[in-house]
Every structure is written in C-alpha cells, then in structure tokens.
Amino acid sequence: MKSFLNYIAEVFNAIWTLLTGMKVTAKYFFTPWKNVTQQYPENRDTLKMFERFRGEVVMTHNEKNEHSCTGCGICEINCPNGSIEIISKTIVTEEGKKKKALDQHIYNLGMCTFCNLCIKNCPTGAIVMAQTFEHAVWDRTKLVKVLNKPGSLVMQDVKE
Amino acid sequence: MAFEKYDFTPLSQSIHQGLIENVSPLLTTIIEWTIIGVLYLLFIALFGLLLVYAERKVCAAFQQRLGPMRVGPWGLLQTIADFVKLLMKELITPNRVDKFLYNLAPFIVIIVPFLTISVIPFAPGLQALDFDIGIFFVTAVSSVGVIGVLLAGWASNNKYSLIGGMRSGAQIVSYELSVGLSLITMVVLAGTMQVSEIVELQRGGWFLFKGHIPAIIAFVVFVVAGTAETNRGPFDLAEAESELTAGFHTEYSGIKFAFFFLAEYINLFIVSAMATIVFLGGWMPFHFGGFEAFNTIMDFIPGLIWFFMKVFGVIFLIMWFKWTFPRLRIDQILTLEWKYLLPINLFNILLMATIVLLGWHW
C-alpha cells in the first residue's frame, strides 16, 4: 500500500517539476527584448561595449599630450608571451641628474592574449584596455603598435 | 449563424456536379483524386517548410537568441535554401547495404503521413475520406511507420544505425499503446469513431471541457505519447546528433535524408491535428456557456482559421517540451511508458466509462 502511495506521490511530484521547468523557458520566450544576439554589421553605429571589455591595450594621454609611463618594464616582465617590449633611454633632468625614461612602448596586438596582467601590474596606471573590437587587418605588420605618442612624461606621477 | 457561410460543402458539391455533367463517372473520380492528391502534396510540402522554419525560430526564442535572420527577410528563405542544398547533395550508398530495403525505407516513412492526413477535417466540408472508423484508421496507418524506421536501421549495414533503429522501433511500438488508449478514452466519451461526427459533437463545447478530469488526463498522456511517437522532443535518443551519430538515418544523404526529416515534421502536424480534433474541437469555434455576444463574435472567424490556430497551439506546446527538458535514456523512455503512462491510461478509461455511464459530464 505504501509503495502505491509513493507511486502516486511520484507522479504528482514529477508533473510539478516539469511545470517548473516549463515556466522558466516560458519566461525566456515571452521576453524577446532580452535577447543577447546582436545583428552585427547593421548596428555598428550604435554598438558600444561594456566598461570591462578587453579590446586593445592603449596608453592614455592627457590634453597636453603627456602620458604616465615611466619605462619601468613591469608590464614587459609580466606579459606571458612577450607581446610588450619597452625601449628606454636616459635623459638628463633640469637638476642635471640622469634618469631612465621611456623611448618606445612596443605592443604586438597579434600576439596579445588579453590577459590584463600588464594593466593590473602597471604602477602608474599608464595603460588601459580600450573597448574597440574591429582589429582585422590585411597585413600582420600593422598589428605591431607603438603605444606612446610623441609626448612626454606626466610630471607628478604617483607610484600607485 | 455567420458560421454556416464558411462551409466548404457547396463548393465541393458544385465541382462534383460540374464534372459529372461533362465527363464520364470514371474520369470524374480520377480527376477528383488527382485534384485532392495535388492539393495534399502542396499542403504537405509548404507546411513542412513552414514547420522547419517555425521550429528554428521558436527554439531561438526559448534560448534567448534570434534564429535565422540573414537568408531572406527575417530568415524566411532559410528552409528553401536548406532543401535546395539537400537536393544537390550526392546520394552516397554505402558498401554492402541491402539495396532494395535501403531505398525503400524513406518511401515508407514519407507515405505514412500522406495516408493519415486524408482523414483530417480542416474545415466543415473539407475532408477527403470520412470513414465510420476514422480514429481506428489513423492509429492503424500510423503504425506502418515503424517498418520504415526498422528497415532504415537494418539495411544500413552499420551497427550504430541498427541499434538506433531498434531503439526507435521499440519506442514507437510502446508509445502507440498510449496513443491508442487515450484516443479510445475520447471515443468512449463521443460514442463514435467517425471523425466528422466527433467534431460535430463538440459544437456545444470542446471535449477537453466536457469530459473534465479524464479528458485532461487523456490530453496530457496523448501529447506526451505523441511526441514520443514521432521521435521528438526529450524522446529523441534514436536520432540525436550527440548520441548514436544520428541513429537510423546516419547512412542517408541528400533527398533520402530530406524524406526522413520532412516525415518527422509532418508526423508532428498529424499528432497535433489529432489532438485538436479529439480534444480541442477541430474546427469548432470557442463558445462560452451563455454569452451570446461573445459566441457571435467567435463565429465570425472561419473554421479553417480556428483549426490552424489550435494546431499551431499544440505544435507550440510540443516544441516547448523539446526545448525545456533534457533527453531521456532509452530505459527511462520505456519505463515511462510501461510503468507510468499505461497504468494511468487504463485507469483513465475506467474513469471515463464510469463518468459516461453515470452521466456526470456536460
């Protein structure tokens, strides 16, 4: 008798679980405005990526065309496959001391794995991830970029 | 009532009269057969295309994406593109197949839905064959489809196809019991097996409402067994891509595969059509008790439109099943039938018979 009651309870329980599942998919069906598909080439004008999107490594410059990179080379050390190369030069400051400064920050977009380690470990926050995503080129040498524009260092850089 | 002017009987009678007066009776019969055959072929071809497109769009909506959008506006030409591709593929016959059976299997599988569709009443007066035992004819003829599946599995000379064919055959044969018994439940309520009579009897209210509890149980059992019959939804172990490399139709390419594919969607239409005829009133409009104004508004919609709306409703329900539930193993499929659906069905017939005898229905 007990197994018969178990049988009936099982049937009703099964129906209840099935209906719970169907409720979830019904919710998906009747809210089509929450679809995640983007109709790509047609919505290029309005398409904007979210803030944490890892598109491409760029170096931020302010209005006076100055960046914050000190040429310390921590990003080059942290990069897992060597997509960054820092070339530094020695300059003479106003007090007459010799200091190391950045000459070229070379970044190979073709090899970059977008792991974000260079940006996390930069002591001055000089480099950030941009939200661009259309990187296709016909010639692979165009993917090797020099990140610093012809500008100079920001004067007061805080070792963050 | 406005509903009477949507009757197709005067049209078919006038065609019949026109033919009888002008040509001999034999030629009349042949011409009528040809017209009906061509109409059904067109209907099945178009409906198959529509259902494949609808399945992809509905599946996408359940998965929060868009489905085919590129081929034609909103992807409407997608199915046509797929069929043109299938037609142009090379028909590869594997090495040591049983040639006659291998070539026969897709034909059996596609002819069976053609036979079944002839008894379906689309609108008042629009029914090709009106047997006294219409329901029995449907269950009998749809059983022939198993032969096609078993032949395809056996004749492919491939152990995976054989296993897939055997599993699918066992599944279809088991679930035919449930389909037949749930239809019998409604035949007990109706008192007749003639399809047009069953639809006529639902003029005062659909059977789903007239035979309350047993009809609802029978409806649920019928829909579940119907999806298992057509190898669809969570019961598609025999033909799923990730299981036995497409099961019994692995070795078929091009137009032969298109036959299996199309036959599955037409079977889906047939299961839904039987569900609407027997449970949801066929082409009868939705009347509610004593609300005369509501009833007259409902009468303005033609019977043909009512029928297709209900069929699409049931098809949507079956597609909802497919894209919600995970696939069942073959032992789970057979357990469901023999240990749960069959006892519930038998008890339900008893219940329905009691209710009919005591008159506890509307």
In this prediction, residues A71-85 reach a mean pLDDT of 92
Among B158, B160, B118, B166, CA closest to B142:
B118
Whether residue B243 is contained in a domain is answered as: yes
Query: Which pLDDT band, with edges at 50, 70 and 90, does B174 fall under?
Result: very high
CB atoms B320 and A26 under 8 Å: yes
- Chain A residues near any Cβ of chain B (below 8 Å): 11, 18, 21-22, 24-26, 28-29, 32, 34-37, 39
CB atoms A28 and B62 under 8 Å: yes
pLDDT given at position A155: 62
- Considering only alpha carbons, which residue of chain A is nearest residue B321? A22
Whether residue B194 is contained in a domain is answered as: yes
pLDDT in tens, A95-137: 777 878 888 899 999 999 999 999 999 988 889 999 888 889 9
pLDDT given at position B233: 83
Whether residue B68 is contained in a domain is answered as: no
In this prediction, residues B119-142 reach a mean pLDDT of 88
CB atoms B324 and A21 under 8 Å: yes
pLDDT in tens, B180-234: 999 999 999 998 999 988 998 888 788 888 888 899 999 999 999 999 998 888 9
- The residue of B57, B62, B64 whose CB has the most chain A CBs within 10 angstroms, and thus the best one to mutate to test that interface, is B64
Whether residue B169 is contained in a domain is answered as: yes
What is the number of domains present in chain B? 1
pLDDT given at position B227: 93
Among B192, B188, B181, CA closest to B221:
B181
pLDDT in tens, B279-291: 998 888 887 767 7
Backbone dihedral angles phi then psi of residue A85, each to the nearest 5 degrees = -135, 125
- Considering only alpha carbons, which residue of chain A is nearest residue B61? A29
ipTM over 0.90: no
Query: B24 or A113: whose pLDDT is higher?
Result: A113
Whether residue B40 is contained in a domain is answered as: no
Min Cα separation A14/chain B (Å): 11
What single-letter amino acid sits at B125? G
Domain range enclosing B278: 93-358
- The residue of A16, A30, A31, A37 whose CB has the most chain B CBs within 10 angstroms, and thus the best one to mutate to test that interface, is A37
Whether residue B191 is contained in a domain is answered as: yes
Whether residue B2 is contained in a domain is answered as: no
Taking 80 as the threshold, does the pLDDT of residue B30 lie above it?
A: yes
Whether residue B5 is contained in a domain is answered as: no
User: Taken in order B78, B83, B86, B88, is the CA torsion positive or negative?
Assistant: negative
Chain B residues lying within 8 Å of A22, measured CB to CB: 320-321, 324
Taking 80 as the threshold, does the pLDDT of residue B117 lie above it?
A: yes
Choose among B62, B325, B340: nearest Cβ to A29: B62
Cβ atoms of B117 and B270 closer than 8 Å: yes
CB atoms A22 and B324 under 8 Å: yes
pLDDT in tens, A1-47: 899 999 999 999 999 999 999 999 999 999 888 888 888 888 888 88
- Chain B residues near any Cβ of chain A (below 8 Å): 58, 61-66, 69, 320-321, 323-325, 340, 344
In this prediction, residues B91-112 reach a mean pLDDT of 88
% of chain B residues with pLDDT over 90: 40
